[in-house]
Amino acid sequence: MGLYGCFTAVRAASGRWLRQHPLCGAWGPQGSPGRSYAGGLPQTPPTFGFLFDIDGVLVRGHRAIPAALEAARKLVDSNGRLRMPVVFVTNAGNCAPQVKAQELSDFLGLQVEPEQVILSSSPLKFFSKFHKKRMLVSGQGPVVDHAWNLGFQNVVTVDELRQTFPVLDMVDLERRPKTMPPLKTDFPPIEGVLLLGEPVRWETSLQLIIDVLLSNGDPGTGLAVAPYPHLPVLISNMDLLWMAEAKMPRFGHGTFLLCLESIYRKITGKELKYAALVGKPNITTYQYAESLIRKQAERRAWGAPIRRLYAIGDNPVTDVYGANLYNRYLQKNRNGEVQECYEVVEEKQGSPTAERCLSILVRSGVYNPSLRQTETPFHGHRDFVFDPSLLEASHVVADVHEAVQLVFCKEGWDHI
């Protein structure tokens, strides 16, 4: 037995040397290829697809992770076309899919289409029963455009609400009104709240959202008793933390939600309830991702069904938890065993064809390998049950390049 480069090599009884791939453990003749497609399209259609997280996997802040550039080159053939279906699933949501697609194209040096990008808010387009309601929308960036693109036709921003009722925002002394404005009596009531991502002025957004909920959508008057159940609240992105250029993780929308939930419970003595909660790790997001994977395969006329999904991420409580939860769902545990608190919209996206969804955790982002996930505080959202088995990734690797190599090895797609 000996070493051949980074491979373990042994001589078989026939006298031929065999070598074992260090990532997936596959054995093959030394020097012989698996299916290698540098010269063109695969000889057989792909039966697997990739779900890539973005922050901490492909980019850190405004810079591409070097390993992502290596991985991107392996995803395409000599003509620059993807060898297999790929989607990018992020819990970010402060820009349009076409903007994120262009950013990824520039970062990775490959053509990413808007149809390949899933933002945390993307599945909200399927919750049509709320689309005609007058919604207070919170977030940052062009939130009105984002809401319209999702199908919401009547939205009011936090800033617009503050301008209509300036006496509601009283934390910042510099922004308090100098004179008392006349009371607005012709303001149409708000019928729901749409939270697309963390806002900039948390104190303003927290105050005005609570005001809307406590007043049943009419914050100019107020009510003696807060209504319960309260107005419908739809949210996207539950990430408590995320990884940018800083050495330590940054607050995410999940931190803002934690503040909102705590304030509402402290004031009312009741739990804040959500009518819809989307983004990883919710099953609906993975349903949507798989539907886009299937559509890519159909457009490319890849005849074989996509049977395996590989979800690559850096966050155990969103990427790993979500992929493992969806894997349970695919294993036909739809009789109440799957922990799923919110509406599953399978009828709007088609039945799944995938048989498995495997989670691959990379060490290039928020994940800290020195901490055992089962021994650290659970950073998942309140409405997702802590289940240690859902935090255990199918594989843990250094970075996304190693993750892609691992998948190719398992699928027999590259040189052993």
State the pLDDT at residue 416.
41
CA 53 to chain CA centroid, Å, is 7
Residue 171 banded pLDDT, cuts 50, 70, 90: confident
Tokens standing for 201?
């002025």
CATH number (3.40.50.1000, 3.40.109.10, 3.60.130.10, 3.40.50.970) of 48-120+286-311+324-365+390-411 reads: 3.40.50.1000
Compute the distance between CA of residue 388 and CA of residue 265 in angstroms, rounded to an integer. 27
Q: Report the amino acid identity of residue 334.
A: R
Which residue, among 306, 406, 360, 324, has the nearest Cα to 53 in the 3D structure?
360
How confident is the prediction for the chain on average, in pLDDT?
86
Before 181, cis peptide (omega within 30)? no
d(CA 283, CA 325): 7
- The pLDDT, as a whole number, for residue 13 is 54
Residues 6+ apart with CB under 8 A from 218: 187, 189, 190
Q: What is the pLDDT of residue 5?
A: 41
- Indicate if the pLDDT at residue 156 is higher than 90: yes
Task: List where CATH 3.40.50.1000 sits in the chain.
Answer: 48-120+286-311+324-365+390-411, 124-277
Sole residue written with tokens 């373990």: 8
> Cβ neighbours of residue 290 under 8 Å, at least 6 residues apart?
306, 309, 349, 352, 353, 354
Three-class secondary structure of residue 240 per DSSP: coil
- pLDDT, position 373: 53
**Position 29 pLDDT exceeds 90:** no
Cα separation, 67 vs 78, whole angstroms: 20
Say if residues 10 and 18 touch (Cβ distance below 8 Å): yes
* Mean pLDDT computed over 243-248: 83
What separation in angstroms does the CA of 403 have from each of 314, 406, 409, 410? 11, 5, 10, 11
Write out pLDDT tens, residues 102-152: 999 999 999 999 999 999 999 999 999 999 999 999 999 999 999 999 999
Is 269 a residue whose pLDDT tops 70? yes
Question: Which position has the token pair 């003696």?
Answer: 224
User: Interior CA angle at 210 toward 204 and 216, to 5°?
Assistant: 130
Residue 380's nearest CA partner among 316, 317, 286, 314 is: 317
CATH of 124-277, one of 3.40.50.2300, 3.40.50.1000, 3.30.9.10, 1.20.120.330: 3.40.50.1000
Q: What angle do CA 101, 352, 344 make, to 5 degrees?
A: 85
Q: Say whether the peptide bond before residue 189 is cis (omega within 30 degrees of 0).
A: no
Task: Over range 343-364, report the average pLDDT.
Answer: 80
Residue 231 · residue 212 · CB < 8 Å = yes
Which tens digits make up the pLDDT trace of 277-315? 999 999 999 999 999 999 999 999 998 899 999 999 999
Q: Is 180 left (phi over 0), alpha (psi -120 to 50) or beta?
A: beta
> For residue 55, what are the β-bridge partners?
59
Place of tokens 């149809």: 115
In the chain, the percentage of residues whose pLDDT exceeds 90 is 62
pLDDT digits (tens, 9 = 90+) for 55-88: 999 998 889 999 999 999 999 998 999 999 999 9
Indicate the pTM of the whole model.
0.82
pLDDT at 98 over 70: yes
- pLDDT given for residue 180 in this prediction: 74
Average pLDDT over residues 215-242: 91
Whether 42 has a pLDDT exceeding 50, the answer reads no
Please state, in angstroms and rounded to a whole number, the distance separating the CA atoms of residues 67 and 378.
Answer: 29
Is the pLDDT confidence value at 341 over 60? no
